[in-house]
Amino acid sequence: MSESQRSEQPSLFPLDPDPWVADALDDFWVARVVFSEPPFGPYDYLIPDDLRSQVQLGCRLAVPLGRGGRQMMAWCIDITHSRAGTPALSSNGSGPVSAAPPIWDPQRLRPILSIVDTDVLLSRSLLQLASWISEYYVAPLGQVIETIIPAGVRAGAGTRPISYYSLATPQRDTWESLRLSAQQRAVMEYLARFDVPVPGHQILQQAEVGSSPLASLVKRGLLQVEVRRMHTQEFVVAPEEREQSLQLNTQQRLCLTRIMDAIESQSSQPILLHGVTGSGKTEVYLQAIEAVIASGRQAIVLVPEISLTPQTRQRFRRRFQRIAVLHSQLTDPQRHWYWQQIAAGKVDVVIGTRSAIFAPTPHLGLVIIDEEHDGSFKQDKSPRYHARDVAAERCRHAKVPLVLGSATPAIETYQAAKAGRSLYLSLPDRVESRPLPAVSVVDMRIAESIGKSGRSLSRQLRQAMQETLNDGGQIILLLNRRGFSTCIQCPSCGEVVKCRDCDIALTHHRDTDIAVCHFCDYQIPAPNTCPACRYEGIKFSGLGTQKLEAEVRRQFPNATLLRMDTDTMRKPGAHEAALHSFRQGDVSILLGTQMIAKGLDFPNVTLVGVVNADTGLHMPDFRARERVFGLVTQVAGRTGRGPKGGRVIVQTLNPDDPAIAAAAHHNYLAFAQEELQTRAKLGYPPFRRLTRVVVRSGSEKQAEEASMALADAIQNSFATEVEPASFQIIGPAPAPVTKLRGYYRFHFLVIAPSTTNVGQKIHAATKHVVLPSEIQWIVDIDALDMM
């Protein structure tokens, strides 16, 4: 805390100390705490003598706040020892509290009220990581900590308090001569057999007594009692049939050797494992993890949510016995139970989505991020961290390798490897020398490709589907737009039916005959007439998965078809059941959005059709081409994994686009090279840092004025830099989605040198900008979302 902050702190507290405080002014301990809600802190509190041995870093404390002494829960982030009038010395082992050690007046410090947690929830290493996230992403530390610690863990979900008893004095001669009832003596005799506390229910059962003898012995000071929260249920998954390691090919062995060298040398340099789809990256992961476990350490594996399929979970469970799978469908008690198992070192492998990077592994030996390019690794609410960068920081402190695996690495990741900041490993061929599937690009501008007017399936794709079905193969069709019709428009006056609260066209869902906003879920009955001019011939156009499903059923009435999108996969277990049906061969055609593009390995899939490769290609986002290339490449990789081989048909209105052309040739390196050249000219990542500032308000004018005030303040601060020309602000301007959930949105981009801590500069530049209370604004460091 700065001196200015410290001088302001007393305004929140009464200045008159409690009487007992004045008697202990020469020697005292201070806890520094933060809150998860305003005021975030940090603030300093006196540690009472009776709590001194219990207060620990990473535990929660009950403290008074403000003149009324409102009780608040706070996180302890530092403990310091001081004498009145002398500089403080930190006892947390992480260096000085601040550049200038503080000198406290204990009369101005309020004492802690109580300890909330008997067990420390946040380890020293995770506290250090939280501090880094807070500084880098400009987020309150208390908020970051509560992102790291799941709500179910904080609430003790699935546990109940159990009293444990032990003898106050274990020497028998101190209590044998006392006057005790028969039941009291039975309790004492029973506990004398143990060197550790015993749960009360066990004493009642084994000593055959009631609860009153325990209470009376505690009252007499003969027994000590402590309350522990214990789980009411264990969540043990039935073991899978064990699977032996597979034989690696030469390329895989070379990659594994380099990863093993990094593990043994405790190198934290990131490793990019760039392997085409079906090249055996997962087997390399598994064998690296086996070596880590053999050395007594733990591994964390991060995957996108849509890739965490039953097939993926099963493959890991067949190789490792002590595994925790963390995903969004876990209940709070399950998540809490797994958290404690991991922290106790009873789990060897943690596999999960973005937040699994915070798993409390005490013996971390390796972190792997599969499909590292996936945008879901970036959180879209505060703190807006990217799991890849957080993992790199955690690995750096733990001195363990970070393996980043992908067939289509993020351009930033590839450039880091190209520049030598990461180790580059390549798996350019599929296992067993299987060829990559042949890709045919169909130009949908040519009428002969479409055939009958209005069809979304080209003649080439329909013919290939029929041949595949005749041969007993399976088909995957990708269309990354859900609903039936994506636009409802009046041909008379041109009115587009939009969301009431968002600047977004409503999508028609024919199964329920409603029009839905896919941003805020606003719904209205599908209109029969134009809401503006009452014209009755309103037109439903555009293509979504529902309309595609209807067309496929018409074209192939005898084929079994399954649609997978967020509309059909809402029920718990629906995702697993759908993939199981497809794996068993009960379904011939799997149709859906991007959730079917990754993490699937079905050898009988011999045809993949990309129905509209242009979806997202022309978004106002410099990463649009990269996303399209990645999606087409990933879904193409779902075929050709078995002895039958496979093929891919890509339908597009932009066959000459570099992203489409490179994906058709499975040529990541050519795409990356061209993309890097373009971004270098524009000064975009990975060559410079990009931060997005978004301002929103119920008033459009107010949002615009606030965004201009913030942008001006930041621009003025950059004028004092050594090289002010290296900093640039683009905007402010209305966000591409100008109105969202009832708020008008303006944004601007801050582009700075790649070595700059942009977040702290923005924070310093804007801390004195006064905005109306109804203005809300966010800073998104290393932003991925430009909408």
Q: How far apart are CA 464 and CA 543, in angstroms?
A: 21
Q: Does residue 22 have a pLDDT over 70?
A: no
Q: Which of 469-473, 482-486, 550-554 has the lowest mean pLDDT?
A: 482-486
Task: For residue 1, name the pLDDT band (cuts at 50, 70, 90).
Answer: very low
Give the C-alpha distances (Å, rounded to integers) separating 428 from 280, 408, 434, 638, 669: 10, 12, 11, 16, 11
Task: For residue 722, name the pLDDT band (cuts at 50, 70, 90).
Answer: low
The arithmetic mean of pLDDT across residues 731-758, rounded, is: 92
Q: How far apart are CA 349 and CA 109, in angstroms?
A: 44
> What is residue 502's DSSP assignment?
S
Q: Is 16 exposed, middle or buried (0-12, 13-18, 19+ CB in 10 A)?
A: exposed
Helix (H, G, I), strand (E, B) or coil at 740: strand
Q: How far is C-alpha 345 from the geometric centre of its chain's CA atoms?
A: 22
pLDDT at 452: 55
Q: Which of 224, 279, 622, 592 is nearest to 426 (CA)?
A: 279
pLDDT at 89: 55
Q: Which of 356, 304, 171, 287 is nearest to 630 (CA)?
A: 304
- The pLDDT tens digits of the residues spanning 725-739 come to 788 999 999 999 999
Task: For residue 93, name the pLDDT band (cuts at 50, 70, 90).
Answer: very low
Q: Does residue 532 have a pLDDT over 50?
A: yes
Instruction: Check residues 539 and 119 and name the one with the higher pLDDT.
Output: 539
How is the chain split among helix, strand and coil, in percent rounded to 5? 35, 25, 45
Task: For residue 627, name the pLDDT band (cuts at 50, 70, 90).
Answer: very high
Helix (H, G, I), strand (E, B) or coil at 537: coil
Q: Does residue 588 have a pLDDT over 90?
A: yes
Q: How far apart are CA 628 and CA 615, in angstroms?
A: 8
Residue located via tokens 């029009």: 515
Q: Which of 553, 251, 287 is nearest to 425 (CA)?
A: 251
Q: Which helix (H) or strand (E) holds 151?
A: helix 151-154
Q: Which of 10, 95, 112, 96 is nearest to 56 (CA)?
A: 112
pLDDT at 451: 56
Q: Percent of the chain at pLDDT above 90?
A: 65
pLDDT at 6: 41
Q: Does residue 18 have a pLDDT over 90?
A: no
Helix (H, G, I), strand (E, B) or coil at 774: coil
- pTM beyond 0.85: yes
Task: For residue 344, name the pLDDT band (cuts at 50, 70, 90).
Answer: very high
Neighbours of 304 (CB within 10 A): 21
- The pLDDT tens digits of the residues spanning 228-256 come to 888 877 777 777 788 889 999 999 999 99
pLDDT at 234: 72
pLDDT at 94: 40
pLDDT at 589: 95
Q: Does residue 439 have a pLDDT over 50?
A: yes
Q: Does residue 376 have a pLDDT over 90?
A: yes
Task: For residue 546, name the pLDDT band (cuts at 50, 70, 90).
Answer: very high
The arithmetic mean of pLDDT across residues 593-604, rounded, is: 81
Q: Does residue 424 have a pLDDT over 70?
A: yes
Question: What six digits make up the tokens of 341?
Answer: 């198992």
- The pLDDT tens digits of the residues spanning 561-581 come to 999 988 888 887 788 888 888
Q: How far apart are CA 372 and CA 471, in angstroms?
A: 36
Question: What six digits make up the tokens of 221?
Answer: 């000071």
Q: Does residue 96 have a pLDDT over 50?
A: no
Q: Is the preceding peptide bond at 140 cis, omega within 30 degrees of 0?
A: no
Give the C-alpha distances (Å, rounded to integers) separating 685 from 348, 678, 682, 691, 706: 36, 10, 9, 10, 27
User: What single-letter amino acid sits at 376?
Assistant: S
For residues 752 and 758, the answer to whether their CB atoms sit within 8 Å is yes
pLDDT at 14: 46
The arithmetic mean of pLDDT across residues 369-375, rounded, is: 95
Question: What six digits make up the tokens of 294?
Answer: 């053999």
List, as one string, the DSSP characters of 635-692: HHTTSS-STT--EEEEEES-TTSHHHHHHHTT-HHHHHHHHHHHHHHHT-TTSEEEEE
pLDDT at 3: 40
Kindly tell me the sign of the dihedral angle through the C-alpha atoms of 722, 725, 726, 727: positive
Task: For residue 10, name the pLDDT band (cuts at 50, 70, 90).
Answer: very low
pLDDT at 338: 94
- The pLDDT tens digits of the residues spanning 267-308 come to 999 999 999 999 999 999 999 999 999 999 999 999 987 777
pLDDT at 629: 95
Residue 227: strand pairing partners: 163
pLDDT at 237: 74
Q: What are phi and psi of 424, to 5 degrees?
A: -100, 120
Residues 6+ apart with CB under 8 A from 704: 732, 734, 744, 746
Angle (CA) 226-231-237 rounded to 5° is 155
pLDDT at 287: 97
Residues 6+ apart with CB under 8 A from 544: 479, 481, 482, 483, 484, 485, 486, 507, 508
Q: Which of 166-170, 348-352, 449-453, 568-572 has the lowest mean pLDDT?
A: 449-453
Q: How far apart are CA 617 and CA 657, in angstroms?
A: 9
Beta-strand runs (E) in 316-457: 323-326, 349-352, 364-370, 402-406, 423-427, 438-443
pLDDT at 733: 96
- The pLDDT tens digits of the residues spanning 312-331 come to 888 899 999 899 998 877 88
Q: Which of 595, 598, 150, 564 is nearest to 372 (CA)?
A: 598
For residues 364 and 300, the answer to whether their CB atoms sit within 8 Å is yes
Q: Which of 141, 66, 101, 137 is nearest to 759 (CA)?
A: 137
- The pLDDT tens digits of the residues spanning 151-165 come to 999 998 888 888 999
Q: Does residue 345 have a pLDDT over 80?
A: yes
Task: For residue 11, name the pLDDT band (cuts at 50, 70, 90).
Answer: very low
For residues 456 and 548, the answer to whether their CB atoms sit within 8 Å is yes
Q: Percent of the chain at pLDDT above 70?
A: 92
pLDDT at 90: 57
Task: For residue 16, name the pLDDT band (cuts at 50, 70, 90).
Answer: low
The arithmetic mean of pLDDT across residues 145-156, rounded, is: 94
Task: For residue 102, name the pLDDT band (cuts at 50, 70, 90).
Answer: low
Q: How far apart are CA 41 and CA 49, in angstroms?
A: 24
Q: Does residue 17 have a pLDDT over 60?
A: no
pLDDT at 507: 92
pLDDT at 84: 57
Q: Does residue 758 have a pLDDT over 50?
A: yes
pLDDT at 88: 55
Kindly tell me the sign of the dihedral angle through the C-alpha atoms of 115, 121, 123, 126: negative
Q: Is the preceding peptide bond at 213 cis, omega within 30 degrees of 0?
A: no
pLDDT at 103: 67
Q: How far apart are CA 51 and CA 493, in angstroms?
A: 74
Q: How far apart are CA 690 and CA 747, in angstroms?
A: 13
For residues 758 and 736, the answer to whether their CB atoms sit within 8 Å is no
Q: Does residue 15 have a pLDDT over 50?
A: no
Q: Which of 439, 231, 219 is nearest to 331 (CA)?
A: 231
pLDDT at 27: 77
Q: How far apart are CA 61 and CA 76, in angstroms?
A: 7
Dihedral-angle region of residue 173 (phi above 0 means left; psi in -120 to 50 means alpha; beta otherwise): alpha
Q: Does residue 19 have a pLDDT over 70?
A: no
- The pLDDT tens digits of the residues spanning 650-660 come to 999 999 999 99
Q: Does residue 407 have a pLDDT over 90?
A: yes
pLDDT at 274: 98
Q: Does residue 526 have a pLDDT over 70?
A: yes
pLDDT at 599: 66
Question: What six digits make up the tokens of 781?
Answer: 């460091």
Q: How far apart are CA 468 and CA 13, in angstroms?
A: 75
